[in-house]
Structure 1
Amino acid sequence: MKFASYTLIAAAILGLSACKQQTPAGTEAASAPVADTSASGDTVKIGLAAPLTGNIAHLGKDVEYGAQMAIEEVNAEGGLDVDGAKKKVVLVSEDDQADPKNATTVAQRFVDQKIAGVIGHLTSGTSIPASKIYSDAGIPQISPSATALAYTAQGFKTTFRLTANDGQQGLVLAQYAVAKLNAKKIAIIDDRTAYGQGLADEFEKAAKAAGAEIVKREFTTNQETDFNAILTNIKGAKPDLIFYGGMDAQSAPLKKQSKKLGLTAVVMGADGTKSPEFLKLAGVDAEGTFGSSAGQSVDQMPGGKEFKEKFKTKFGVDVQVYAPYSYDATKLMLSAMKQAGSANPAKYLPVLSKIQHQGLTGPIAFDEKGDVKNAAVGVYSVKNGQWELAEMVGGAK
């Protein structure tokens, strides 16, 4: 009996050891208990929420790595000078799996841990429900990538974003499709997420206003990879252009399948499509696809080349889309804390809302909703296997 008891105890200890999460250097395991307040002791804890697993984990890791780079640079300079002391900044990463329900669980966990501020979430569908929880707790949230109009339309003083919204992207893409690509008949597909559907709605509205006819409007899910039935249905309408509201994990197979079915329509996506991963997934069939950037692309940013090289050296992967924005979001949040002299959200939030910050992505300031001012939208096309800028609209002058 004693031997059996000891065996069970040993097994339990081994099991607990095996369950410890492995995280990148400078980050903290998501499940680790946090007893400190946001700036107690000698640390300031910043939360990062994104899909770190699943079919868009490459985008989630992109924003995590961008935030990690910013934090490591601040720590290398001696830490953050707040509340009368130099404090180390710690990144606490959580995987929301791009799922709205998981996102609210993650948000509540950050609140319970008294996180000083949150970078994220990645998608609009997770950012919107989580924002209510952060607002109720008074914790600032800066999304480097959520584009849905609803995200900043709720009146929360804690909600900010660094990219152009769906209204801006949809307008620029639709006008380009009609005026520059001569698309008179357009088919639209979306993934029914807050991002994909919202973007498709804005694109449709702007395309109609520009004089195009919407010949088909279809929808799928953000997990689907077989679009043959939808594309076959669309083929009979003979569209000049197919617009997809969703991410690269779906737009790539959609593009490949459209070519296989013999569709001659141009395929256009938005910022969720314009990524190195799309080029990898679509291969030679990527040629001729259009996408957008909800802000300056890293290649257009002053200092972007050096950022890309440092990022690749450090993490062994290329910048996807949003790493420069999560980098800036983190630096911006820490700058507001430094200017306020405190990591207490109640003290640095007023500074954050009025901040003027020169970032990698350009000059940053927020309007009364928390949207970044002077957001740019770039239209890109795939030529010779690479994304090339076709048109840039807006941005700080």
Structure 2
Amino acid sequence: MRIICLVVVFFALFSVPSASAEVPPKIAFIGPLSGHDGHEGLAAKQAFLLAIKQVSDETGKEIVPVVMDDFADPDQAREAALTVASDSSVMAVVAHYHSVCAFATMDVFSSAKLPVIMWAAAHPGISEKGDPYIFQMVPILDDMVLSLGRLMFDRGLRSIALIGERSAYGRRFLSVMAPYLREIGVDVPLVIETSPMLPSYDHLADRVADVAPDGVAYGGFTHEGAMIKMALDRKGLSLTYGVDSSVGEELFCRYAGPAAEGTLGVLPLSPIYLPGGTDFLKGLYGLFPDAVPANYTALAYDAATVVAWSTYRGQSRGREGVREEISRYSGRGLTGLIGFDYLGRAVARPIGAFVVKGGRWLPLRGDRDG
């Protein structure tokens, strides 16, 4: 009887396929697919799906994409994170445009030992504790803020008023920008936190007029950034306006109209300005003919490429194996050489200086006219 039992156990252990062998691995995408920033989420989702398809085609191994809308809302983002974390076949996640959503989900991913790459959430607090399951593909907010401050300084501005949205993101913008500008010799006569979604920002223009700066730098939402610039123009203020990466997108030009002209921004490089951009766009339009790439599309594509290859190489070791593969990933992607430092931050810094000219964001050439 003992021999028979041993044979049965042996057969059960070595003849029955494991669940992981039967079920193709999944990779999840979470981002804003509707509402205020739905265009960014949609473009990132399309890039995500393209990357998954390309890696699956190259390896001959199926990877199942899971796509969820976080509605740009931290509570709904957390629900989405809990949903994907509870599915043991999900090996990794590419998540979040908004930092507030990332903060709401980090503990979910960490507790589930589910590696996540934040494709656009840029607040440095996301990765500053070095959680081994949290990675950031996007250049952190501080890098972009300091670059914007330096750009405005190099353009001759010596008095800059600062406006930031009332959020962790906006407060970080202000707390980094103000001391940096003062350190390099720029007067900061005004620092304002403002609420989003106000019907008018004329009161802010009045406060700016009272201190008469050379320029204004704003960190926050695209729509509010456009409304503030229009309010400054209505006030008749002739000054330089600079915006951070979350504002500097094509929708800003559409919202602000003629008032957008001359606005400076430090932005993630869109695919058309990247060495592999032509091939990427060919693949993207082949899969999604109506695609409209946005500021963070290239970063979402590279994040998805990393998790797809890491899943292919590490899935036999479960989520921990995938995390290990992400942490030691090294390769050239659309945004440059891809790898992560000890905090889980991408080593590449694919950002550039831009100016609005003719209703479009165009790269600065280094001259005064852009």
TM-score (norm 2): 0.87
Matched ranges for 1:29-178 at <5 A: 39=20, 41-77=22-58, 79-80=60-61, 88-114=62-88, 115-178=90-153
Provide the secondary structure at the position in 1 that maps to 2:279. helix
Provide the secondary structure at the position in 2 that maps to 1:190. strand
Q: How far does residue 176 in structure 1 lie from its aligned partner after superposition? A: 1.6
- Return the match for 2:192 from 211, 218, 225: 218
In structure 1, how many angstroms separate the alpha carbons of the residues matched to 2:196 and 2:63? 35
Provide the secondary structure at the position in 2 that maps to 1:291. strand
- Encode CA deviations 1:96-146: one digit per residue, 9 max, x unaligned: 222222222221121122321110111111112311110111000101111
In structure 1, how many angstroms separate the alpha carbons of the residues matched to 2:55 and 2:200? 45
Residues 49 and 224 of structure 1: CA distance in aligned 2, closer, same or farther (over 3 Å): farther
- Encode CA deviations 1:302-351: one digit per residue, 9 max, x unaligned: 12133235435615142111111111111111111223353721112112
Provide the secondary structure at the position in 2 that maps to 1:215. coil
Residues 341 and 140 of structure 1: CA distance in aligned 2, closer, same or farther (over 3 Å): closer
Q: How far does residue 73 in structure 1 lie from its aligned partner after superposition? A: 2.3
Provide the secondary structure at the position in 1 that maps to 2:295. coil
Provide the secondary structure at the position in 2 that maps to 1:147. coil
Provide the secondary structure at the position in 2 that maps to 1:116. strand
**Which residue matches 2:320?**
346
Count of paired positions: 347
Q: How far does residue 39 in structure 1 lie from its aligned partner after superposition? A: 4.9
**Which residue matches 1:297?**
270
Matched ranges for 1:304-383 at <5 A: 304-312=277-285, 314-340=288-314, 342=316, 344-383=318-357
In structure 2, how many angstroms separate the alpha carbons of the residues matched to 1:100 and 1:166? 19
**Which residue matches 2:173?**
199
Q: How far does residue 268 in structure 1 lie from its aligned partner after superposition? A: 0.8
| Structure 1 alignment gaps of length 5 or more | 1-36, 81-87, 393-397
In structure 2, how many angstroms separate the alpha carbons of the residues matched to 1:54 and 1:343? 38
- Return the match for 1:209 from 170, 183, 188: 183
Q: Is the 8 A contact 2:94 2:303 kept in 1?
A: yes
Q: How far does residue 385 in structure 1 lie from its aligned partner after superposition? A: 2.3
- Encode CA deviations 1:244-282: one digit per residue, 9 max, x unaligned: 111322212222222122121211111112212222222
Provide the secondary structure at the position in 1 that maps to 2:233. helix
Return the structure number with greater helix share. Answer: 2
Provide the secondary structure at the position in 1 that maps to 2:94. strand
Provide the secondary structure at the position in 1 that maps to 2:211. coil
Q: Is the 8 A contact 2:128 2:343 kept in 1?
A: yes
Provide the secondary structure at the position in 1 that maps to 2:262. coil
2:164 is the alignment partner of 1:190: yes
In structure 1, how many angstroms separate the alpha carbons of the residues matched to 2:26 and 2:315? 15
TM-score (norm 1): 0.81
- Encode CA deviations 1:341-397: one digit per residue, 9 max, x unaligned: 5372111211210110211111101000001114243111112222222279xxxxx
Q: How far does residue 226 in structure 1 lie from its aligned partner after superposition? A: 2.4
| Structure 2 alignment gaps of length 5 or more | 1-17
In structure 1, how many angstroms separate the alpha carbons of the residues matched to 2:199 and 2:351? 27
Identity percentage over the alignment?
24
In structure 2, how many angstroms separate the alpha carbons of the residues matched to 1:231 and 1:343? 57
Residues 105 and 285 of structure 1: CA distance in aligned 2, closer, same or farther (over 3 Å): same
**Which residue matches 1:13?**
none
Q: Is the 8 A contact 2:55 2:309 kept in 1?
A: no
In structure 2, how many angstroms separate the alpha carbons of the residues matched to 1:271 and 1:248? 9
Matched ranges for 1:266-285 at <5 A: 266-285=240-259
Provide the secondary structure at the position in 1 that maps to 2:64. strand
Q: RMSD across aligned C-alpha pairs, in angstroms?
A: 2.2
Q: Is the 8 A contact 1:303 1:360 kept in 2?
A: yes
Residues 391 and 197 of structure 1: CA distance in aligned 2, closer, same or farther (over 3 Å): farther
Q: Is the 8 A contact 1:118 1:141 kept in 2?
A: yes
Q: Is the 8 A contact 2:233 2:259 kept in 1?
A: yes
User: What amino acid sits opposite 1:333 in the alignment?
Assistant: V
**Which residue matches 1:254?**
228
Q: Is the 8 A contact 1:168 1:377 kept in 2?
A: no
- Encode CA deviations 1:180-236: one digit per residue, 9 max, x unaligned: 222222111111222232123212221111111111111223434521121222221
- Return the match for 2:219 from 220, 224, 245: 245
In structure 2, how many angstroms separate the alpha carbons of the residues matched to 1:129 and 1:93? 18
In structure 2, how many angstroms separate the alpha carbons of the residues matched to 1:371 and 1:345? 19
Provide the secondary structure at the position in 2 that maps to 1:177. helix
In structure 2, how many angstroms separate the alpha carbons of the residues matched to 1:255 and 1:79? 51
In structure 1, how many angstroms separate the alpha carbons of the residues matched to 2:199 and 2:139? 27
Q: Is the 8 A contact 2:336 2:350 kept in 1?
A: no
Residues 352 and 173 of structure 1: CA distance in aligned 2, closer, same or farther (over 3 Å): same
In structure 2, how many angstroms separate the alpha carbons of the residues matched to 1:224 and 1:96? 23
Q: How far does residue 297 in structure 1 lie from its aligned partner after superposition? A: 3.4
- Return the match for 2:262 from 277, 285, 288: 288
